[in-house]
């Protein structure tokens, strides 16, 4: 499996890819720019191209992630415009680096009318992708269920995608901690969940996985990641999850807490063992 982790770009894009490879990763995630800002970055095109070529040489898959402040359901017109420009910038950087796409959280609507939140999100995504001709996709990530509970069910994820003007430019990123926190997955019902995903044709648009254990119990609606096997989900549930044929070949990326500079190397090995050798 293409198992890897999130890495820093503090030394540039190609160095991020090299760091991932040194850790034993076959996939990685990166922030295209400052994750706490919605600014537009003028990036080093030569560095991005070097990253793309290095990944192609080493067989590395990558995904990018939008900045923390991005909310696809914002009601502020000025903030919405800034957000659109920021996400389009992320797509351009991801494309230049050879990434599969850019992960963005399903929107959070703070108003009482949740339907209005869906309308705002659909409009925002349509405007972000209008005129986008790159191969990098916008990858919608399921929510943990905070606030209005938007973005937590398979039905709404697949239905909202079909409502976009250009759904072929949109894929999914499945976060295991978010799915556990929202009650989508309780750790023992993956067979049922996978069956529903097949029924709803979710897997055909699944482009990446965030592999995270959870500090809190299922249906807690609390998003806090734990290292694989050291949280409430546990090794056995992850081993079952990793046997899913539709996940093979996808980037499976850890966003778990680091305990040292190279701690993800050990965790990547652990996940690979779960995927390859689990006996139950």
Residues spanned by the domain of 137: 2-277
Q: What is the tally of structural domains in the chain?
A: 1
47 token code pair: 């560095």
DSSP 35: T
CA 220 to chain centre: 20
What's the predicted TM-score (pTM) here? 0.96
Is residue 72 a contact partner of residue 163, using CB atoms and an 8 Å limit?
A: no
b (16+ CB within 10 A) / e for 64-88: bbbbeebbbbbeeeeebebbbebbb
The helix (run of H) or strand (run of E) holding residue 15 is: helix 13-22
Q: CATH number, domain at 141?
A: 3.20.20.150
Q: Give the span between the Cα atoms of 127 and 31, in whole angstroms.
A: 22
Collapsing DSSP to helix, strand or coil, 278 comes out as coil
The helix (run of H) or strand (run of E) holding residue 45 is: helix 45-58
Give tens-digit pLDDT for 204-262: 999 999 999 999 999 999 999 999 999 999 999 999 999 999 999 999 999 999 887 78
Q: Give the span between the Cα atoms of 29 and 44, in whole angstroms.
A: 18
Q: Walk along the chain (280 residues) and give the pLDDT tens digit of each residue.
A: 799 999 999 999 999 999 999 999 999 999 999 999 999 999 999 999 999 999 999 999 999 999 999 999 999 999 999 999 999 999 999 999 999 999 999 998 887 788 999 999 999 999 999 999 999 999 999 999 987 789 999 999 999 999 999 999 999 999 999 999 999 999 999 999 999 999 999 999 999 999 999 999 999 999 999 999 999 999 999 999 999 999 999 999 999 998 877 889 999 999 999 998 765 5
């Amino acid at each position: 499996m293409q198992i890897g982790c999130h890495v820093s770009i503090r030394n540039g894009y190609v160095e991020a890819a090299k760091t991932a490879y040194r850790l034993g990763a076959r996939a990685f995630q990166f922030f295209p720019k400052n994750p706490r800002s919605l600014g537009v970055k003028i990036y080093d095109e030569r560095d991005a191209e070097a990253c793309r070529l290095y990944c192609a040489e080493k067989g590395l898959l990558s995904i990018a992630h939008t900045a923390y402040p991005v909310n696809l359901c914002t009601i502020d017109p000025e903030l919405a415009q800034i957000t659109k420009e920021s996400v389009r910038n992320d797509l351009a950087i991801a494309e230049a680096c050879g990434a599969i796409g850019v992960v963005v959280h399903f929107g959070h609507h703070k108003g009482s009318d949740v339907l209005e939140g869906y309308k705002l999100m659909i409009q925002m995504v349509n405007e972000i992708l209008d005129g986008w001709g790159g191969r990098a996709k916008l990858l919608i990530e399921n929510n943990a269920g905070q606030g209005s509970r938007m973005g937590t069910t398979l039905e709404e994820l697949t239905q909202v995608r079909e409502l976009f003007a250009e759904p072929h430019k949109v894929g999914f990123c499945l976060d295991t901690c978010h799915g556990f926190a929202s009650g989508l997955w309780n750790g023992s019902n993956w067979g049922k969940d996978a069956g529903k995903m097949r029924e709803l044709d979710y897997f055909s648009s699944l482009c990446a996985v965030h592999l995270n254990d959870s500090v809190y119990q299922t249906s807690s609606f609390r998003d806090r990641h734990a290292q694989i096997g050291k949280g409430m989900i546990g090794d056995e549930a992850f081993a079952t999850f990793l046997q899913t044929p539709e996940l093979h070949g996808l980037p499976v990326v850890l966003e778990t807490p680091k305990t040292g500079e190279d701690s993800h190397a050990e965790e990547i090995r652990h996940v690979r063992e779960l995927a390859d050798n689990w006996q139950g």
